[in-house]
Amino acid sequence: MECSYDLIETTNDKRMSRMNREEYYDQIYKAIKREEREEFRDLFLKLHERDQVEVFHLLYPEKKVKITEFLMPVEFAELFDDMDFDDQLAAFYYLPSTYLQNVFSFIADDNVVQFISQLDEEKRQQALDIMKPEDLQAIESLLKQKLGTAGALMTTELIRVTTEDTADDVIADMRLIGAQAETIYYIYVVNPSNQLTGVLSLRDLLLSPGDTKVKE
């Protein structure tokens, strides 16, 4: 009986959480409007990453700029990594180049390349122009690689697997390579010609039986 009560209580908590989300977001927007930095940080940093992305997405352009006053570049870099391309592009358009310069320094090189490679030629050059010299060399080197191949994503954060590898094989590779990588962002899937065919999420990997092949 106690278990049933706990289940009902948990369900109610989730329902209440959904009901309060709009109100919670509204508190964040009011903190931005009043320029209450600590209030904003206290509310915003408690959110899940996907909710932080949603808050940024919903901000008016002139309010997006205010983010630079409330979040350090290293904090926004984590947010940038979780954004889709459209929100990344909005950040690129609206945030000051001096701020973005520092943000890019905290993002893995392959993720920066992935973003820049989707820009048109003019915007791509603008992005490169704001890079720190020590970051620019690595980014330009990666951009020279043929886009769409594993070579364009070759950094210390890269774990590369084939479609025939099993979930257990990938996890074993992660234990070996992961010890040398500062952070594991993605698992890249390549074909026998070393061409990128897809990206495997850590969630799908961990939830799959050990003998499941990557191609599945």
Tell me: the pLDDT tens digits for 32-43?
Answer: 999 999 999 999
pLDDT of residue 187: 78
Whose CA is closest to 55, among 90, 93, 92?
Answer: 90
* Residue 53 identity (one-letter amino acid): V
pLDDT of residue 192: 72
pLDDT band, very low/low/confident/very high, at 58 (cuts 50, 70, 90)? very high
CB 152 within 8 Å of CB 164: no
Q: Which residue has the tokens 């997405």?
A: 57
Q: In 10 A of CB 118, how many CB atoms?
A: 13
State yes or no: pLDDT of 79 exceeds 90: yes
Q: In what order do the strands lie in the sheet with 187-190?
A: 159-162, 187-190, 196-200
CB 159 within 8 Å of CB 187: yes
pLDDT band, very low/low/confident/very high, at 181 (cuts 50, 70, 90)? low
Question: What angle do the packed helices 49-58 and 2-33 form, to 10 degrees?
Answer: 40
- pLDDT tens, residue by residue, 119-151: 888 898 999 999 998 888 888 888 876 454 544
pLDDT of residue 75: 93
Strand ranges (DSSP E) for the chain? 159-162, 187-190, 196-200
- pLDDT tens, residue by residue, 2-15: 444 344 344 444 54
pLDDT of residue 4: 43
pLDDT of residue 10: 45
Phi, psi dihedral angles at 213 (to 5 degrees): -80, 150
